[in-house]
Amino acid sequence: MQPTIVSKLPHVGTTIFTVMSQLAAEHGAINLGQGFPDFPMSAALTGLVSKAMQEGHNQYVHMNGLPALREALAKKASRLYQAAIDPNTDITVTPGGTYAIYTALTTVLQPGDEVIVFEPAYDCYIPTIELNGAKAVTISLKYPDYSIPWDTVKASITPRTRMIMINTPHNPTGAVLSAEDMKALSAITAGTNILILSDEVYEHLIFDGIAHQSILRYPDLYARSFVCFSFGKTYHCTGWKLGYCIAPNHLMQDFRKIHQFNCFTCDTPKQVALAAYLQNEADYLNLGTFMQAKRDYFRTLMEKTPFRCVPSHGSYFECYSYEGFSKETDKELAIRLTKEYGIATIPVSSFYRDGEDNKVLRFCFAKKEETLEKAVSKLTSLK
């Protein structure tokens, strides 16, 4: 007899990113679906990793992350966001931003807790909440600018509300939170026991001269927050799967209790390399300009297609509406474009638990110009 298990995620299939990347590979399509750059990362940074390995940095590093890397990150938080972050107590290096999110949620959630999640929501949020026996209370961002309806948030708070999750710049929409949003979040959480998880993996991928509203800028919000970051996004190396979480000591202590029995510690040579490379501020400070040029180029190319732009202000992504030319569901259109036009995208309904379909597809523009040109040329004949 085959042993059976009771699934902890009975309603969950394979992530849409893998589904669309696989479909793209099967049909030889250009992949503007899953978010990853197709241009090379810094040779100086890969050189530093090789050097670290050759110099013998190949054993376990401290479970909370290489001290020199944590110090560099604390200094960066102080310079960019005027935040007083203690590198010994407030920063833990993790194998990616997803793991930081998973660990933060697992650290605090008890069965029956409620977590407010804005949809469209990055795909790991709700399953991780549910794995912990908690309940995701979903609130739709206002289409088409995907702003947060703060009155609805206020009305959704109950005695069981344990956490509010935010993501700026936002995946999949490229919406960014403003100082006014942060004020609203402060007003709603002040004097409560509500925690915040802030997903800031796209902190440097922000456009149009907008300043990133990190939780780290706001001491009152930081006191109740886990803030999650990803080196993969900042250094064009999503396959490195290295990130970190910043949280005040009283929250980080328990995060580390869970971290130490999960992965315990992360890749040593990459941390040695990053500690040195982080001194090179221009690299991340110029990232917004670099990626904005790609967004702008992609946007201009897309004007020759029947798609209508739903403007992005950050991230790797821009959404496009097809309401004007098709009645298909976004999943049907995404599949048709992959199979018949050779271009893979992500249907935005995948980021909603109930499949809300505003007839928009997400395109990843973090690509070489020639990739974007080739991809869009396939769409100009689209009906």
Nearest-5° Cα angle at 307, 302 to 309: 75
Give me the DSSP letters along 169-216: SPTTT-----HHHHHHHHHHHTTS--EEEEE-TTTT-B-TTPPP--GG
Coil vs helix vs strand at 134: coil
Terminal-residue alpha carbon distance, the chain = 53
Residue 171 lies near ligand GLN (rule: CB under 6 A)? yes
Number of residues that bind ligand GLN (CB under 6 A): 5
Residue 168 lies near ligand PMP (rule: CB under 6 A)? no
Tokens 């902190």 sit at which residue? 203
Residue 96 lies near ligand PMP (rule: CB under 6 A)? yes
Residue 156 lies near ligand GLN (rule: CB under 6 A)? no
Token output for 223: 């006191």
Q: Determine which residue in the list 238, 265, 271, 338 makes contact with ligand PMP, applying CB under 6 A.
A: 238
C-beta closer to ligand GLN: residue 34 or 265: 34
Find which of ligand PMP, ligand GLN, none residue 271 binds, CB within 5 to 8 Å per kind.
none
Residue 215 lies near ligand PMP (rule: CB under 6 A)? no
Residue 122 lies near ligand PMP (rule: CB under 6 A)? yes
Residue 271 lies near ligand PMP (rule: CB under 6 A)? no
Q: Is the CB of residue 170 less than 8 Å from the CB of residue 315?
A: yes
Tokens 């970051």 sit at which residue? 229
Amino acid at 242: L
Q: Determine which residue in the list 34, 128, 213, 265 makes contact with ligand GLN, applying CB under 6 A.
A: 34
Residue 35 lies near ligand GLN (rule: CB under 6 A)? yes
C-beta closer to ligand GLN: residue 16 or 273: 16
Amino acid at 12: V
How far, in whole angstroms, is CA 327 from its chain's centroid? 30
Rounded least distance, CB 52 to ligand GLN, Å: 26
Footprint on this chain of ligand PMP (rule: CB under 6 A): 35, 96-98, 122, 167, 171, 199, 201, 230, 232, 238, 241, 243
Footprint on this chain of ligand GLN (rule: CB under 6 A): 15, 17, 34-35, 171
